[in-house]
Structure 1
Amino acid sequence: MTGKSAFEARYGFARKDVRLETWRLSPFNRWSFQNVGELVPSAHVAAAPGGESQAKSLGTLLDEKVALGGGAETVEAFLNRSNTDGLTILKAGKLVGDWSAPHMPFGSRHIIFSISKSVTAILAGILEGEGVFDPDAPVTKYIPEAKGSAYGDASVRNVLDMTVSLDFEEAYLDPESAFARYRRSTLWNPGGGSESLTAFLMTIQRLSEPHGQTYRYRSPNSDVLGILVERASGMRVTELLREKLWLPLGAASDMSVTVDMEGTARTAGGMSMTPRDLARIGEMMRQGGTANGRRIVPEAWVRDTVATGGSREAWQRGTMVFLFPKGRYRNKWYQTGRDSGAFCGIGIHGQWLYVNPKAEVVIAKMSSQPEPVDDKLDEDIVAFLEALSGMV
């Protein structure tokens, strides 16, 4: 007898050690990223009955080598080095296979962090197609109380494209920053419950630079987007997700999203789903907005989002040019600027939804990287995903 619980034997730490103070830290995130609902209040989005098919092995693909900056390594070695928890690959809409780390049972949900932004933008695109959401309107059309905040003279388009001139920094690891206060308002950090997410968002002020000029990655913009789609539609985000995306998509498993003290969804980063269902979203986007023979989001919106829209000048003024030198950002999705036409959604700690239209490949990668942001590893991941797209 070791005296360890089954949990400790499996994960190497005790469940009691995973708290709001620690859930995004390694090694605890290897469990918490699959079980966010035990730590942060979460709302449920049910899939249709039926369930997921069994896991399919990637077979010998795992032993093939990929040439990266530090030299060649096997697919499986890189998955381990980049702290991958779960992976699903589709080719021309067909399942190539899945890979799961020992600590992530197949079919588990996993937080996708900022890919939640990309999913929320799909809701905006759907509502735009229905004529109830205007991306060119001022934010105050839908949120009058935004007057006096940074959003008081911003457009919905500024929010969608991260070009709000927001006086706010993504200081993930600074416990004294405005970002820490932001996370408390979402109930992600200890000490939350005295200020709602909406109340916090309405306190953020703007910089002197005009809106629309510079790509600034600021997560509050995407929580504002969640409020915008709710106000425009008269429906909660969870209702919109199920009715307009999850059921039409044919998602096989339930998903969830964290909520604050008022039930406001954390649309900037709080969604959890399986790798398979995340890949289904990517395939729907690759197919121009259709799934199961059904139109989900307008084709023109998808084309604008992944290929033709977005300001290259605003992107060049931003801080992520190193990752996609020829890229653009539109409707919460990244255009890589590569010859393959690849586009993607990205989340901290190693969440990726990579779509390569030329290769007809979709890759969903969920991870528990120790650091929220690792620029060098991100460069390797982009090279890996692009190479892997050509290997299947």
Structure 2
Amino acid sequence: MDTVIVLLTRDLRVHDHPALAEACARARWVVPLFVLDPGIDPRHRRGFLAETLRDLRSSLRDRGGDLIVRAGDPVTETVRLAGRIHATAVFTSADVSAYARRRERRLAEACAAHRLLLRLFPGVTVVPPDALRPVGGDHYRVFTPYWRAWSAMPRRPLLPPPDLVRLPPSIEPGEPPEAPTLPYGALPGGETAARWRLEHWLALGLAGYAEHHDDLSCARTSMLSPYLRFGCLSPAEVVARAADRPGGEAFTRQLCWRDFYHQVTLAFPDLPRRDYRSRDVDWTGDGEAAQAWRAGMTGVPIVDAGMRQLAAEGWMHNRARLITGSYLTKRLKVHWRIGGEHFADLLLDADIADNWGNWQWVAGTGNDTRPNRMLNPIRQAKKFDPTGDYVRRYVPELADVPAEAIHEPWRLPTAVPGYPAPIGGLDNG
């Protein structure tokens, strides 16, 4: 091959990148391209994305190449660039959302019309979303059977970063977006930061994961999810390096959930919009209860702490996500789409498959085999934040309140002026 465009989407790295590695191995010239798509609003992830693109550009320049940045429709910009540089092929990573699949179909049509070879590669998940199917079905609907099949699935070999990326001469690189100032507590974007965090986690955090990952106050989680969402890390590499270490099986199981929801989304692309399994719930709308939940002013300290952590950091502990989601959908009866949209707006790691799969699971309309499951926020707080440290960190009004009172929120309004009484019928029962 003479010239290949590698269209980058959610695979913003150079390590273990099948599309980039194949292009560098087979083509004379390789053009890594990222298109700023006006159809995708990065929302609160703009700063993280900007840092990630600048870090990727640096990595590619270290290898003799560059990151080519354009703005507009990805299909139009890819074909336009291919014409200008006389490219013969487009390589890209396959994805599962309805938007990504429409983009792939349009790209296939445009490439065929312009006599360009189009190849789709793995890399967004550990196991390709269409690789595992149960007998008589198009996808797994229950996690445990999927976990067994996923665990037994042979893995593709991990790929080293290319030594050399040969960019054709006289190509205008374009500029990544400016990186706004990140809020306090926000994670830095990019593969360099991601790989540092991975090394730190494997050395110091993974061994205690099984025992402590639900402990809200000590935050013994990897915080790799934003880097996986943008493809700053290869999920296959993370699993390969973690699986056989102490704590690795429990951690790998959580990464399998990510693959599980991707194969669900591939089979049911309407996951963000309609019930995966209809439960005929009489949902309430986006009213005062939903607004109090967003603001972290429900009067339930563990819920309010989670929502304020989300607003401050663009991230939330997974146990807090379950607690806040269950409270919104099961206690307040607010539609899961309202909660999912708020998370999609603020979370750095708001992946379509994971975000909406988790929201439908917690609402009882998704893949949970116990759709009537309800997490009692008081019991959850006593179990996973027994000292109240997590609550005090994010709800400063309660900084001097003992844990016993934090775990009895119906008594707080008289002890802490200005803190609301619990909404949603929560009492000491």
Q: Same fold (TM over 0.5)?
A: no
TM-score computed with the length of structure 2 as normaliser: 0.25
Query: Would you tell me which structure has more strand in proportion to its own residues?
Result: 1
TM-score computed with the length of structure 1 as normaliser: 0.26
Question: Which structure has the larger Rg over C-alpha atoms?
Answer: 2
Query: Which gives a bigger RCO, structure 1 or 2 (Cα 8 Å, sep 6+)?
Result: 1
